[in-house]
A and B are shown apart, each in its own frame.
Chain A
């Protein structure tokens, strides 16, 4: 496929926004590279080139967001998912849900308690198995993957942020952020470096050695977000990630989510909070285990 757009940054850097999943990843990386270059220039006080770079970055992000991907470029698909629970009577926690998640998506799943939001998230996050239907990760049926390989997929491809008590209390922020890298088998020096970068990215570069009881609720969620993106996963799932936070901290965390999404990180967030949903580009409303409607913004 030919390049659709070329952005000339300077003599050395070019961004190619191409079609195709592979190219989307490349584009994501290029945008991240631009972001870093911009941060570097700003830190050095070179305001004019930094401003120019910011403009280029915006254009690149816009192009990336506008890029139309074909079906095969979907990163995760849930096909007619069903989850049946026997609690005396049979309850369909999910009743035929189908959903495509594309690279760069920022999705909110909303609905009343018991509507199946968290169950859907657990299915898509490979934490639970559907009673019927399929989950396709990058086109591959997850059901066909051996169960013992699922932890590896979760550590490399998926990130998770939960509602509260999200961090391991005996570990520092840095050690918490290093956990998925440890489980992916990355060597210590490299994972320390990567976790440090992720924490700097979420604005906690000065809290590396603090434990969770030394951090505010918002800071703890930032560490959890850093931990979820440290491995550059395909998707980050957030289950009520602002549920325990006040409105200021919620806005703070969501602006971070937005910032990371702009860099190309895909997010799927289950929430009750309309303020959180407002930040997202796709809002999926669920009721009685089904998708009631989807709003694109």
Chain B
């Protein structure tokens, strides 16, 4: 191993440049992979959440918040296949849409807790305190990513849209939308949402009648996609979406996003791999005589191959560790900087870390294989004559 290290640093500048080539690739892979990891977990959480229910809103999009009349609830409940309906209000935590958000923005959610507790399959657990109940006026539960932003502790008061609320629970990390959410009672969320509506809408309704969504729990054996279609047919002026709509709107878009991210990282890695091939080929052509002598005194294929593959693998390992380290620092720095705004962009998971470093080593070995094979095939007699 000592010999391999010494050989690596015979040409320090060349080796370091190659290591940096890999470093850039692995850095890009780590950062972009962490971003993709975060998105994937958000999407997988969303997929899980939407899997068994129908979401009703006032517009075609799942995430636009057009007002709906609470009285629609009875019409929806009357549709065959519906078990229960929870009225929901969803709005942004910030009054102004002032930050570019990665994933769903920090938000306020109000719903009918008793119904949700009974029918919701996406269970939330609490790191402190307890779940919200329908009569918990003036109280909120805070998602894990917003704890720092709101400086929330159970028993303390936090300011949400200018109002003081008592924190009664902190949710455990779900790695998806609830992490970025403040949950309050439906009536209090309605008041906030009502205040946001244009005067013309407010003049024709009351806060207690305005919501912007319904969560429909489906009877056992009923296909939520078919039920969504049925609701659309039977209940006027609402848009019902089943799990397929989420897949169509979000999951497929993130697939393209993932492909772009990994494509960029892959290109960087191919460049890194080519620079390993170049370095190893140069290195072998400089050491032809040495290889000849080693073969003459008994070096077998595995000795020569092992020597050069170890060198290439070490270049990969150093590049990988450096790239991963820089990536981890960048990801942590950005996450720390954006955490106060409740916007966590990256998730550097163990699998991304292990994969990044292992991939760098494997890339080194693959890139080093051709030059090493070339070294093995060197003709001893010709090599020894070389000066």
Which A residues contact B (CB, under 8 angstroms)? 122, 125, 127-128, 148, 151-152, 154-156, 159-160, 162, 165-166, 168-171, 175, 179-180, 182-184, 227-228, 239
Contact = CB atoms under 8 A, between A and B. Distances in A.
B296 interface: yes
A227 B297 contact: yes
A168 B384 contact: no
A154 B298 contact: yes
A170 B380 contact: no
16 contacts: A127-B384, A128-B381, A148-B301, A151-B299, A152-B300, A154-B297, A154-B298, A160-B296, A160-B297, A162-B296, A162-B384, A165-B289, A165-B290, A168-B3, A183-B298, A183-B299
Majority SS at the chain B contact face: helix
A152 B298 CA distance: 6
A245 B106 CA distance: 80
Interface of B: 3, 6-7, 10, 289-290, 293-301, 303, 380-381, 384, 387
A168 B298 contact: no
Contacts of A159: 297
B1 to A, nearest CB: 12
B375 to A, nearest CB: 14
Which 3 A-B residue pairs are closest in the complex by CB-CB distance? A155-B298, A183-B298, A170-B6
Contact of B3 (A148, A152, A170, A227): A170
Nearest to B287: A168
A165 B387 contact: yes
Contacts of A171: 3, 6
Find the residue from B10, B296, B384 having the highest chain A CB count within 10 A: B296
A240 B7 CA distance: 28
A127 to B, nearest CB: 5
B296 A175 contact: no
A147 to B, nearest CB: 10
B298 A156 contact: yes
Contacts of A183: 294, 297-300, 303
A168 B297 contact: no
Contacts of A148: 300-301
Contacts of A128: 380-381
A228 B298 CA distance: 11
A155 B294 CA distance: 10
Given A170-B6, A170-B7, A171-B3, A151 B298 contact: yes
A183 B3 CA distance: 14
A168 B381 contact: no
A168 B300 contact: no
Given A122-B381, A127-B380, A175-B3, A168 B293 contact: yes
A261 B10 CA distance: 37
Given A122-B381, A152-B298, A227-B297, 5 more contacts: A127-B381, A160-B296, A162-B296, A168-B290, A180-B297
Contacts of A152: 298, 300
Contact of A151 (B3, B6, B295): B295
